[in-house]
Amino acid sequence: MWPYLDATFLSPLRLRRATSLLALGSLGLASLPAAAQQPASVPEPLTASEAPARPSDFLSPAFHKQRRELLRAQLPAGSVAVVFAAPVRNRANDVDYVYHQNPDFHYLTGYEEPDAVLLLFKEPRTVGGQPGVTEALFTQPRNPAREQWTGRRLGAAGAKGQLQLQFAADNKDFGAAGIKWGDFDRVLFDNLPTDTRDDARNPADLHNLVATFRQQAGLPADYNPAISEWETTVRRYGLTRSKGFAEFLAGQVKENPGLAKSALLRDYIAAPTDAARKTAIEAHPPGRLDDATLGEKLDELRAVKTPEELALLRRAIRISAQGQREVMKLLRPEMGEMEVQGLHEYVYRRYGAEFQGYPSIVGGGANGCILHYETNDRQRLDNDLVLMDCGAEYHGYSADVTRTAPPSGKFSPAQRQIYELVLAAQEAGFAACKPGAAFDAPNKATQDVVAAGLQKLGIIKKKEDFRQYYPHGASHYLGLDVHDRGGYGPLAPGNVITVEPGIYIPAGSPCDPKWWNIGVRIEDDALITATGYENLSAEAPRTVADIEKLMAEPSALEGFKLPDLR
């Protein structure tokens, strides 16, 4: 049965839908209580001084201001950079996902609300009648009625004061701000939002902000974000292992023939040599409407973490490592994957981490052989290895830590052999983590060890067959995104990368069945230093001896037992 249609049961979306039904005559006005019809008065939201205390270790406005200034210094002459907030994403019916800001937007502003756009001008401009503007933020306005439902808003005045923006205005003023788009030699943007919803009651939602930008900046009506994304990828990475990349790109075009409209992609794929591919890229540079350069500049900035960022990353990673430790102590054959996931995530919340950096992966046995397994619904782990790829997100920064452990507390001989091979590969990967080394150096080091080890165990006949059981790379950048921005050039001090070799042997593989359904991944987060690396997740044990020793210890969560509901 439907609940009584009372304002206390109505989310803002439900309230809007009820109002729409009224307009259609589906409900009589008497069907809604007075509170849901039109509030007679709505109290002003709590002021900042009255609001409950929040954590004090967020990145400071000075940090975000410095990031904007560094980016603006790298912009080409006569340019403007345009960055949009992330869309609100719907989960089901009138329930949205918890809002997560575009990491670039967060990095540059600290603003955590939707329906906003940031402009950075290389040279000072007049915006909204104010001369000398180098940065402008258009935000959703204050709205006491809406804030009572969905939380406090900064508004333009709050953004200007609390976030130290030079110019801030309501988003409804974006189109009329007098920005002379035709005067810019370059209009830089990246990842133009395409999955926006058009709210008829909000003329300045993200959908309309993007539409206003497209119209005023002169973006062609047939602008194709997918083509743009691949063109940008070719310009950034098309000269690294270019033959293999060209073959991969050809496969993508075959799957999506619309990509063939791009002359750059066609010429690049057709080019027979590296020199010809370089010529193809140079023949198709970004135009005045440039969706490549801004991303490249942000890659450079975000790849090197500042001390402020490292403090948050260290916290996220230590929390994740503690989650691995406590779960190892509690792990039992009768537990299920979902329970294990919940224990990790409870530890995160207990230490103040707001979210997971990505959906937790908890795979027992055969499920551990699925790289991005997220269902986590196996009811009993029994004695199969359980792969736990879990990471806390703390103030926007994500950890990424994987451990693999035996629920019984002891590795079987076959499990131990595969585990120790993966561990040896990780040690080789760590040894390759040096400033100036190629980004791919840790990956290649892990591949060599895995290939030789699998051949020695008789699991593969030729070393080049290792890809069947180790199909992914060993490293990616880590930060505001779990797969963070970065240029994938030589490793540099301040980079934070993962080192995560793995071996996955599903049932039916062409090897001795004793290896079947063994999946092992060991993943740590490494900070590149001036002389080598620091393993930021070292608190979570990695060796067989250390894991088995820890699993014999009592957990702080040992007495946490719920009553049986059956």
Helix axes 307-330, 337-350, angle to 10 degrees: 140
**pLDDT of amino acid 282:** 93
Look at 25-34, 298-307, 322-331 and tell me which has the smallest mean pLDDT.
25-34
Look at strands 392-394 and 355-356 and give their pairing.
antiparallel
Report whether pLDDT(47) > 50: no
Report whether pLDDT(40) > 70: no
Q: Give the distance from CA 40 to its chain's centroid.
A: 42
Report whether pLDDT(43) > 80: no
Task: Take residue 385 and report the two structure tokens written for it.
Answer: 């290895």
Dihedral of the alpha carbons of 233, 239, 241, 242, in degrees to the nearest 10: 80
Count of CA atoms in the C-beta half-sphere (13 A) of 106: 18
Q: Which residues are catalytic?
A: 94, 372, 389, 400, 472, 476, 483, 500, 504, 521, 523
* Cα–Cα distance, 338 to 118 (Å, whole number): 40
Task: Take residue 86 and report the two structure tokens written for it.
Answer: 């992330």
* Cβ neighbours of residue 301 closer than 8 Å, sequence gap 6 or more: 67, 70, 71, 107
* Cβ neighbours of residue 380 closer than 8 Å, sequence gap 6 or more: 333, 334, 335, 336
Task: Take residue 208 and report the two structure tokens written for it.
Answer: 């309309």
- 187-220 pLDDT, tens digit each: 999 988 888 989 888 999 999 999 999 999 999 9
Report whether pLDDT(222) > 90: no
Q: Which of 309, 313, 347, 355 is nearest to 536 (CA)?
A: 313
**pLDDT of amino acid 50:** 57
Arithmetic mean of pLDDT, 40-51:
47
Which residue type, as a one-letter code, is found at position 47?
T
Look at 57-61, 224-228, 413-417 and tell me which has the smallest mean pLDDT.
224-228
**pLDDT of amino acid 345:** 97
**pLDDT of amino acid 34:** 34
* Cβ neighbours of residue 518 closer than 8 Å, sequence gap 6 or more: 368, 369, 385, 414, 415, 418, 503, 504, 505
Residue 364: pLDDT band (50, 70, 90) is very high
Mean model confidence pLDDT for the chain: 90
Phi and psi dihedrals of 170, rounded to 5?
Answer: -65, 150
Which residue type, as a one-letter code, is found at position 466?
F
* Cα–Cα distance, 369 to 373 (Å, whole number): 8
- 91-105 pLDDT, tens digit each: 999 899 999 999 999
Q: Which of 26, 12, 105 is nearest to 64 (CA)?
A: 105
Phi and psi dihedrals of 263, rounded to 5?
Answer: -65, -35
* Cα–Cα distance, 560 to 553 (Å, whole number): 16
**pLDDT of amino acid 241:** 67
**pLDDT of amino acid 51:** 63
Q: Which of 240, 236, 280, 289 is nearest to 262 (CA)?
A: 280
Task: Take residue 520 and report the two structure tokens written for it.
Answer: 């092992």
Residue 16: pLDDT band (50, 70, 90) is very low
> Is 534 exposed, middle or buried (CB count within 10 Å of its CB: 0-12, 13-18, 19+)?
middle
* Cα–Cα distance, 318 to 394 (Å, whole number): 10
* Cβ neighbours of residue 30 closer than 8 Å, sequence gap 6 or more: none
Report whether pLDDT(31) > 60: no
Task: Take residue 337 and report the two structure tokens written for it.
Answer: 């994957």
